[in-house]
Amino acid sequence: MNSISVAQCRGARAMLGWSQAELAAAAAVSKTTVVDFERGTRTPHRNNLAAIHRALELAGIEFIPENGGGAGVRFARPTTNT
């Protein structure tokens, strides 16, 4: 799992229309973990950061890695069964 940035977390949450409490519930972490991470005051433990990442991906977010154009987020393309 690649790490996600504070901006990616905030952006993904905004795209989903989720509050910090909703992300915390979806990731099964405390709201304080999300608030402190997005505020930049602390980095969550690896397992909590992975849970946040996973919750956002399960909700349909794709994380775009730093590749010269800057890291970002977007909605994942739906998979089709053909």
Would residue 1 count as lying in a domain? no
Cα–Cα distances (Å) from 37 to 6, 9, 12, 81, in that order, read 7, 9, 14, 37
Residue 26 lies in a domain: yes
The answer to whether residue 63 sits within a structural domain is yes
Is the pLDDT assigned to residue 82 strictly greater than 60?
A: no
Furthest-apart CA atoms within the chain: distance in Å: 46
- 24-37 pLDDT, tens digit per residue, is 999 999 999 999 99
| More reliable by pLDDT, 73 or 37 | 37
Q: How confident is the model at residue 80 (pLDDT cuts 50, 70, 90)?
A: low
Question: Any residues with CB less than 8 A from the CB of 72 and at least 6 apart, and which?
Answer: 8, 11, 63, 64
Whether residue 67 is contained in a domain is answered as yes
Q: Is residue 48 part of a domain?
A: yes
Q: How many domains does the chain have?
A: 1
Q: Which pLDDT score, from 0 to 100, does residue 72 have?
A: 87
Q: Which domain holds residue 64?
A: 6-75
User: Band of the pLDDT at 70, cuts 50, 70, 90?
Assistant: confident
What sign does the CA torsion over 19, 20, 23, 25 have? negative
Cα gap 82→74, rounded to integer Å: 24
